[in-house]
Structure 1
Amino acid sequence: MASKHTPFHPIIYVRGYAMTPSEIDETSADPFCGFNLGSTTYRAVADRNRQPRKYIFESPVIRLASDFGYRDIYEDGYDILDKEWHDDPSHKLGSRAIIVYRYYDEASQLLGKGKTPELEVFSQKLGELILKVRELVCGNPDNGIAPKDFRCYLVAHSMGGLVCRGLLQNPKLDPHKAAQYVDKFFTYATPHNGIDVVGKNIPSWLSWNDINNFNRERLAGFLALDKLPKETQGRVDWLPGPIAERTFCMVGTNRNDYEVAMGLSRSFAGHGSDGLVRIENATLNALSDTQKPGAPCAKAFAFRAHSGYFGIVNSEESYQNLTRFLFGDVRVDLWVDVTDIRLPAEVRAAEDQGKKVDALYQFEAMAAPRAKLWYLTRRVAEEDSVACLRHQDWKSAPKKNGSIYLSSVFLANRARVNQNRPSLAYNLILNVRVPDYEIEQKLWINQHYEGSSLFRNALVLELEPPAVAKAAWKIRYAWQDQGFSLASEDLDPKALAGGKVEVKVPFDSGSTPGIKGQLRFVISLWNPDAQMTE
């Protein structure tokens, strides 16, 4: 039975890696370990005589308090792990609590012993913290939560996501089975597949300041992934168990704003990174019970750096993904299925003659909810975040390799602003870039126009979830073409297992060269047991 507080469970924040003793001390001195930082950006205005409009993001901690009634756990200068906190009977922990896992305190020269524990210890103690939160929440009669119904959320930045994964997927690090109480898992810029420097994985022998924690061989043992079948070896971005369906990876794509080590980090990480973690290493995939690769975990992309004032944690885009993932009402997983690719006539003639033709098709996708000033996901070629399809891969297995997962979007009933259209809606821009065609590994540039598209259009998707059990979804769409149109074309949802439905919207560039396929939306109710009263 779901808790009556669903979906507002305690949130446990798990911070990222601190390299030097001074960084560890700075982390320990901050009650919120950096999750209380916000950012100020600007938006252009029409009148050039006016200053640009400020856009302020207060911080995830403050916004969770102001938007959803969450509060921190500090009372009279103590936190829930202090004896003094428990000695005062007035100190009670509510279900909407923000707890910061201060795992670096022991390593601090100010607050601890100045010696950093192993990564395994961090994971084990995270389990102990979860059980302590469970004890306090369930022990507060005002909450009315039975111990078996207790749930919490893990929200982690960078290495903090690895700390969480150690608890979630390595039974040896969870002797008291605390992982069963984790309802959802959200990561910002976590190096799920380790960290690469100048194209090479961090070596296992580089133990200075525990940098080898990001070595894939080291992580395989830590995450209990060292005995996987051949097709999954070499990567550690696998998450087994049902938690994979309830995991979200927020990926940063802006390396330029990452100033650590005077910019050396972003130089070593290279293009296609957030300044530290490569984009391809920042997501997760499900691992089946038979240890076979499964579906990708939910993910979205933001043009933000790994950390800092303009980092991924301190952004409206990430916050909106976080809160919709935790508290939202509808989940939409977006796929593009490519059914036909039309090559330029000269290139097609070369392929018909038996010459090897290749190309890399880049799929851009940007999704923005109605009446908002930000994207929920942003995948753009110039930011190295596009989804890619190689021509040879598609040709060898069109159905298998031509199906590409783009992103997941979570929508919330509370965000509705137009009572005349009682639907959840967002706009999706899809752009397939014209590739660099190759014939026998030689670039073919005849009739090539840089920056042009095989297909480009925007689509508005509107959804009305069923009002009662077993009722039908109402789903409409409209291609925008050269202007704006309200969604008016009805779609007929196909029922899938697990209460999900699927709708498909075909597209065709209608030209040569060109591309044909369909956008496939897999839609489901999210937090169906929630009692959304706000």
Structure 2
Amino acid sequence: MAERSPIVYLRGYAGPPSSVDKQTDDPFYGLNSGATHIRVGGEGTPRFYQFEGPLLRLMSDEGYQLLVRGDQHAYLESQADGAVARESIWVHRFYDCAASTFGTSVTAAQEEFDLETAAERLYDFVQLVRRKTGAPKVHLVAHSMGGLLARCLIQKVCRTADPRTGEPRRPGSELVDKLFTYGTPHGGIAFDLGGGIVDWAMETFGPSGSGIFAPDRMYAYLTPGVSDGEDAPPGWRPHEIPAEAFDARRVFCVVGTNAADYGLVEKAVGPRSDGLVHIDNAYVRHAHRAFVHRSHSGRYGLVNSEEGYQNLRRFLFGNYQVRADLRGLELPEQPSGESRVWQAEVRLAVRGLPTVMHEQRAAHYCPIQLNQESAQHGSAEGDTGGVPLATAFLLDPVHFRGGREGRQPLRSRYTLVLRVFHLVEKSGRFFWADHLEQVPDWEDTLIVDVGRRGVPEETGSQAWAAWNSRVPGSIDDTDPIAAEPCRMVEDGEDLHTEIPMPETVRPILGSESRLRLTVSRFS
């Protein structure tokens, strides 16, 4: 097993000064929160499901330790360099300096929270954790504004000389291994304030707190050498991480799609959100992402959800990355006098889990818009060609605990449910005369196994794939899912295979349409 990295947790926005004291009362800034409800679906009834919280699960599933000892910072300082366990969890308690309840025990005087100052202190804290554990890098796990704090560290602080010494700091890529964000407004937050929303915003953010999520303010704390008040140049996009600062492929963004569970603010942000962060603003460009039908926080929130945790665990500790792209897409010509809008729904599930890992559905306002994707990607054959459908990170089956008794866990299995349907527009309005609600034009499930066949001397990974409509009997009893593995083609360090789309969908997606599965080692 590869060397582990310590995990540093970053909480989200605590609210106006009046709320900071309450938030700092939590020893773990919310990472310890669990849940006892799980959603069946957008309109489903919640049922009992006990999720003990990501902190306890990281300890029980991955053997991590929580080393507080009364004061985690003082504890670290008291230890010899390299003596602290790498498999450890830490909380950057950046709000403590803004609390009024600690007196002089934490800070000489109460401060007003400042994101850049918090990022400066995060740099020092990460350096301390690295020194005491001997780990080259840390993982950063962040909720909401915490993801912007992490990006401020990576994109600005690490690329700015230390004002205390004048010495350059270490680049973010040398400090941070992976960044995982839950519901972070990478593209900012925009409100259409009116009525009771004004009162809610003032209570939640304070008189100027929401400015943290305004593009101009984000430009200042995400860009080296820029001060508050400077306007972002035309074309600057807040949800991009410069390649020279950090590799976006080392970033994973969980995107919430359930606005209804977040209350009044949903009316300000709109239904295409987690209740606070718009879907289109919740991820970094070129980063991995998962769409989860959860709200920004609260009882049905992203952080205290099984879905969020399983994506976190697999991204941090997975051995394989499997990416699915739709190639050769060629949609039918538009009939005369009408416009057809083609959409696809995707749902990703992994064997052994009680929840769906990723789902883009029309009911959640986030289907894949095939017309737009076709225009953007076409049928390109290059590495960037094809319509991206989903990315899964898979644990080594031997490492994964919870497999079925009596079966050697040689393979990881995931399924990709695909549904294709269309809407008709006439004279700028949807035309329902020929419409069958919730009935797709085509639907099937691709089942993929990744791992070893089972021969003891066999090395390396293989993949087996089959459409569910072609598998006789129970899929649970067919393992691997196909008699022969896929023909894998080497592409640098990656392996890929192409699976033709079933004949029944080719009149819609094109005669050359196929799914490309790319399997990569990931660490």
Q: Per the shorter chain, which TM-score range?
A: 0.7 to 0.9
Match of 1:274 in 2: 274
| Cα distance, 1:178 vs structure 2 | 5.7
**Equivalent residue number for residue 165 of structure 2:** none
Displacement, 1:199?
9.6
Residue 408 in structure 1 maps to residue 391 in structure 2: yes
The equivalent of 1:251 in structure 2 is 255
Distance in 2, Cα, partners of 1:183 & 1:302? 24
Are the equivalent residues in 1 in contact too, given 2:7–2:141 (CA < 8 A)?
yes
Equivalents in 2 of 1:315, 1:58: separation in Å?
9
Question: How far did 1:458 drift?
Answer: 0.7
The residue correspondences of 1:72-87 to structure 2 (distance < 5 A) are 72-75=66-69, 77-80=70-73, 82=74, 86-87=77-78
Give 2:295's match in structure 1, choosing from 297, 302, 305: 305
SS of the aligned residue for 1:120 comes to helix
Aligned counterparts, 1:346-425, within 5 A = 348=335, 350=336, 358-390=339-371, 394=374, 398-399=378-379, 403-413=386-396, 414-415=399-400, 417=403, 419-420=407-408, 422-425=410-413
Match of 2:155 in 1: 169
Cα root mean square deviation, aligned: 3.4
Classify the secondary structure of the residue corresponding to 1:456.
Answer: strand
CA contact (8 A) 1:473 1:493 kept: no
Map of 2:210 onto structure 1:
211
Q: CA deviation at 1:395?
A: 5.7
Report what 2:265 is aligned to: 265
Shift of 1:519: 2.0
1:22-74 residue CA offsets vs partner (Å, 9 max, x unmatched): 32112211110011000012699xxxxxxx98421101111111122212221
SS of aligned partner of 1:56: strand
Letter paired with 1:172: T
Q: Residue 120 of structure 2: SS of its match in structure 1?
A: helix
CA distance in 2, matches of 1:397, 1:67: 39
* Local SS of the residue matching 2:413: strand
Instruction: Name the counterpart of 1:25.
Output: 21
CA distance in 2, matches of 1:323, 1:370: 15
Does the residue aligned with 2:324 lie in a helix, a strand or coil?
Answer: strand
Find 1:334's aligned residue among 313, 324, 330: 324
Q: CA deviation at 1:371?
A: 2.6
Is the 2:252–2:287 contact (alpha carbons within 8 Å) kept by the matching residues of 1? yes
TM-score (structure 2 length as normaliser): 0.81
TM-score by length of 1: 0.80
Question: Which residue is equivalent to 2:84?
Answer: 93
Asked if 1:426 is matched to 2:417, the reply is no
Determine the C-alpha separation between the residues in 1 that align with 2:117 and 2:38: 42
Determine which of 66, 74, 89 is the counterpart of 2:60: 66
Q: Rate the CA distance shift 1:108–1:384 in 2: closer, same or farther, 3 A.
A: same
Residue 456 of structure 1 and its aligned partner are, at CA, apart by 0.8
Does the 8 A contact of 1:298 with 1:333 survive in 2? no
Query: One-letter code of the match for 2:488?
Result: P
Letter in 2 for 1:452: V
Structure 2 match to 1:292: none
SS for the counterpart of 1:323 is: helix
Q: Which residue of 1 aligns with 2:2?
A: 6
Q: Distance between the aligned counterparts of 2:371 and 2:437, measured in 1?
A: 18
Q: Tell me whether 403-412 or 513-522 shows the greater mean CA deviation.
A: 513-522
Q: Once the 2 structures are TM-superposed, how far is the Cα of residue 209 of structure 1 from its aligned partner?
A: 3.9
Q: For residues 396 and 10 of structure 1, what CA distance do their matches in structure 2 show?
A: 39
The match for 2:239 is 237
2-structure distance, mates of 1:245, 1:151: 16
TM-aligned CA deviation for residue 423 of structure 1: 1.3
Alpha-carbon offset, residue 459 of structure 1: 1.2
Work out the CA distance in 2 between the residues paired with 1:468 and 1:511. 40
Going from structure 1 to structure 2, the CA distance change for 1:210 and 1:442 (only over 3 Å counts) comes to closer
User: Which among 132, 141, 162 is matched to residue 155 of structure 1?
Assistant: 141
CA distance in structure 2 between the partners assigned to 1:508 and 1:358 by the alignment = 25
The CA distance in 2 between the partners of 1:332 and 1:468, in whole Å, is 24
TM-aligned CA distance change 1:271 to 1:209, over 3 Å = same
Mapped contact 1:337–1:403 kept (Cα < 8 A): yes
Determine the C-alpha separation between the residues in 1 that align with 2:515 and 2:253: 22
Q: Is the 8 A contact 2:81 2:131 kept in 1?
A: no
Q: Is the alpha carbon distance of 1:422 and 1:512 closer, same or farther for their aligned partners in structure 2, counting shifts above 3 Å?
A: closer
1:461 alignment partner in structure 2: 448
- Note if 1:35 corresponds to 2:31: yes
Note if 1:479 corresponds to 2:467: yes
Distance 1:220 1:120 in 2: 12
1:191 matched residue in structure 2:
185
Say yes or no: does 1:494 pair with 2:471: no
Compared CA separation, residues 14 and 396, structure 1 to 2 (3 A): closer
Question: In 2 relative to 1, CA 510–39 (structure 1 residues): closer, same or farther, beyond 3 Å?
Answer: same
Alpha-carbon contact 1:455-1:509 (below 8 Å) kept: no
Aligned AA for 2:306? E
**1:111-143: CA deviations, max 9, x gaps?**
3544323221121111111111122113xxxxx
Structure 1 residue identity aligned to 2:319: D
CA contact (8 A) 1:124 1:173 kept: no
Q: Counterpart in 1 of 2:43?
A: none
Alpha-carbon distance in structure 1 between the residues aligned to 2:206 and 2:37: 38
Deviation at 1:106, TM superposition (A): 1.0
Equivalent position amino acid for 1:431 in 2 = R
Give 1:316 shift: 0.9
How far does residue 240 in structure 1 lie from its aligned partner after superposition?
2.3
Mapped to 1, the partners of 2:315 and 2:465 lie a distance apart of 23
Call closer, same or farther: CA 1:324–1:447 in 2, change over 3 Å: same
Is the Cα–Cα contact under 8 Å of residues 360 and 436 in structure 1 kept in the other structure?
Answer: yes
| Cα distance change of structure 1 residues 178 and 93 upon mapping to structure 2, 3 Å threshold | farther
Kindly provide the CA deviation profile for residues 349-392 of structure 1, in whole angstroms up to 9, marking residues without a partner as x: x1xxxx6x53432221111111321112122211123222336x
Tell me how far 1:154 sits from its aligned partner.
0.5
Deviation per CA, 1:192-245, whole angstroms, max 9, x where unpaired? 000121399x99xx9824211101122123212989996xx2531111235312
Given that residues 180 and 251 in structure 2 are in contact (C-alpha distance below 8 angstroms), is that contact kept between their aligned partners in structure 1?
A: yes
Q: CA deviation at 1:471?
A: 6.1
Deviations 1:313-361 (A, max 9, x none): 0011111111111111111122223522235xxx52x1xxxx6x53432
Tell me which protein shows more strand as a share of its residues: 1
In 1, Cα distance between equivalents of 2:317 and 2:254: 16
Aligned CA distance change for structure 1 residues 7 and 88 (closer, same or farther; 3 Å): closer
Contact 1:272-1:279 within 8 A present in 2 as well:
yes
3-state SS in 1 of match to 2:450: strand
Farther-moved stretch of structure 1 (21-30 vs 512-521)? 512-521
